[in-house]
Amino acid sequence: MVLACIQIFCASLNHRVVLFPCAHIQSLWSFCSCSARKVQRRQRNLVAAMWGGSCPISMSPPTEKYDVFLSFRGEDTRDNFISHLSAELCRKNIKTFIDYRLDRGKEISPALYREIEQSMIYVIILSEHYASSTWCMDELTKILECKQIYGRDVIPVFYKVDPSNVRNQRESFEEAFIEHQQRFRDKVDTWKDALTQVAGLSGWDSQVTGPEHTLVTDIVEEILKKKKNRHRFLSNCEGTIGMDKHIEQIKSLLHLESPAVRIIGIWGMGGIGKTEIARAIYHRFATQFNSSSMILNVEQEIKRVGLSNIHNKYISELLEEDKLSSKLQCSYVQRLRQTKVLLVLDDVNTSNLTIKHSNFGQGSRIIMTSRDKHVLKNAISDEIYEVKEMCFQDSVQLFSLNAFKQNYPIKAYVDLSEKLVLNHAKRVPLVLKNLGLLLHGRTRDAWESELQKLQEFPDEDTFKVLKLSYDSLDDRQKNMFLDIACFYTGHLVNDVARTLDSCGFSADIGMDVLKDKGLIFISEGRIGMHYLIQKMGHEIVRWECVDDPRNRTRLWNPEEIYHVLKNKGTNAIRCIFLDVCKINKVQVHGKTFKKMSNLRIIQFYKPSGFWNDDSNVILPESLKSLPHTLVFLRWDNFSLKSLPLKFCPKNLVKLDMRGSNLEQLWEGDQDQVLPKLKRLDLSYSRKLTRVPDLSLCPNIEQIILSGCVRLVDIYSSSFLNKLNFLCLHDCVELRSLNLRRDGLSRSSGLVVLYGCVRLELVVLVESLYFLF
């Protein structure tokens, strides 16, 4: 503490105010020991008064409306010093709040408190009668409160008064408090503490710095410097949060001591901070190379000026040639091969930009950032560094710098800040910054309103950045991405791949592309997708038709599906996924599916254990058909006795109707061929009495008829060479199972007959696993 006080004392000597004149170090040591305790005690009292309610504290983070707030005693300074100072501030375009009212009353209005909160720098003119004004003392208390809470700058100006008299409340300051003692007993101690605190700050003494116009000029220059430093601080803080970790990890990949040429890729989703990392690497290590060049937004620049101009730009910068000559190209290539360079290319998303190790001199390092990992692979990168989300602590700091202009959230906003960082920004730098700037200066109600909005719609600026990766996909890849975003996040990757393949997409190469572009990832055998990317996918679908979900390709919202089922669909709809437990009971229109000529998936499912309950989706007997384009049809608790007569299932790959009211698949003898069907699941369809000749399903792999308690016979008139799983447990009335000798050809096939107590005839292949 003593050392800290000595540092404060010494620092004050560098400014224009001598706060603690002292002849000997020993007396200084003694002074610091007692003064430190006194200042600590008074600061505790002041902070307690601040939070105790002596001054109203705004519940919203203040917007910095003014550069400077001037606090002064009008009768001492209005017509001289203040008029000169305000004129110079105006001349320098420094936005200043000055309260010119002559009769300012006894108490500060809430409006003036807001003006104080919305100012960035406070200049306090401590004149002879400053303390005699209760208005000035309340202003000062509020100013120091804002300094404590928001980290604002305070510049005291001791105008024709001795700083020690202010600090110790002597002479006119002592007289003022004697007058205040009776009427404002509850505030006097707080006011004294405020004067002591402000007198301890570095400031200006008019009796040391003169003449007056020089003092005014010096004060304005200091204000300009503080403004500049504050902006630089905020900018630097944003760019350095969490940066050391990235720099150290990338430095280990650069192998700066090696004479080999190395290409390092920096890869990650849009908005994750690749550009800032590359910029930091460039500024940190550029001096270790003979020459350096950094080109930002390469993809955008290629579109604007062309690929050859990008090549010429970095060559001219690396060789320090103002203008390149086409006649000297060979010379440039040779010189570049002899030069140790650092080249940073940001946002490279095309493989047409040719970067080769052999083009650069020994020890050169090329750093490329990209949203597309495949581009970095094509560049034969020696290492690829993946940029992931920020840690929680760094995320809160970055968000706070933009929302509150300080390193941490304001007390009243801690809970909302955490929700935004964890639930919506998801620790992505671009989103943290955008949301912070959007909410800066807004009320708590506005924050809560934005939180509610973000539940449904992503931040617009974030959406545009993330969508760049989507826009670079071809049509099939876009459809794959939207299917995964809307329906398959968290599903087993092999199941999703088979589903996408069945829909006509090339799943293996398509998912590789999506992974390389950072749109999906695989974790423990399941497909994952960043929350913000998934929200972006949802928003793309919503924008297909904002007002009418019938004209969107994919439906998953129960309310929107209710609207479609109640009316008629359109040929825009490709997929419908619905947990039928989450929709209100709806009578489906008889012609709902008539115009859905491109529908490939219906998934009306229930959670396990609810299959035997009544369905909320009620079908009319007039339903004559389903779209012939259907590839997957799952409809738990399907309410009709058979599938629609005019439904042609030639494209059907999966048919799942658990707990249905089906008595048979087709009415009468109108059995349909199912040439592509691989899976048939009619389990717990307790009214089912027959299934068609399974030879109509030549590619069937799985048949699940568990719990079909009225089913008597299962038969195939030809071989089912692909069948590998047959589950018939609890088919208590089943008497005959005849799938011919070679019906199950795979040795790994499994037949489950547990609970088939009446089974009399079984004709199956040998060497199978049976479970009775």
- Hey, which residues are catalytic here? 139
Please tell me the distance from the alpha carbon of residue 658 to that of residue 661, in angstroms, as a whole number: 9
Give the tokens for residue 357: 């190790």
Q: Distance between alpha carbon 99 and the CA centroid of its chain, in Å?
A: 43
Q: Rounded distance, CA 697 to CA 665, Å?
A: 13
Distance CA 409, CA 344 (A): 35
Helix (H/G/I), strand (E/B), else coil: 624: coil
Return the beta strands (E) in 649-688 as ranges.
654-656, 679-681
Residue 343 half-sphere exposure, CB side, CA atoms within 13 Å?
29
SS3 69: strand
Question: Which residues lie closer than 8 Å to 236 by C-beta, 6 or more apart?
Answer: none
Q: Please, which residues bridge with residue 586 across strands?
A: 617
Residue type, 190: T
Count of CB atoms situated within 10 Å of the CB of 179 = 12
Residue 283 φ/ψ, nearest 5 degrees: -70, -30
What number of other Cβ atoms are within 10 A of residue 580's Cβ?
23
The contacts of residue 123 (CB under 8 Å, 6+ apart) are 68, 69, 70, 71, 85, 155, 157, 219, 223
Backbone φ and ψ of 590, nearest 5° = -60, -25
Q: What gap in Å lies between CA 401 and CA 386, rounded to an integer?
A: 25
User: Which two structure tokens, joined as six digits, stand for 113?
Assistant: 């408190």
Give the whole-angstrom CA distance, residue 231 versus residue 229: 5
- Expressed in angstroms, the distance from the first to the final Cα of the chain is 82
For residue 440, report the phi and psi dihedrals to the nearest 5 degrees.
-60, 125
Burial of residue 53 (CB within 10 Å: 0-12, 13-18, 19+) is exposed
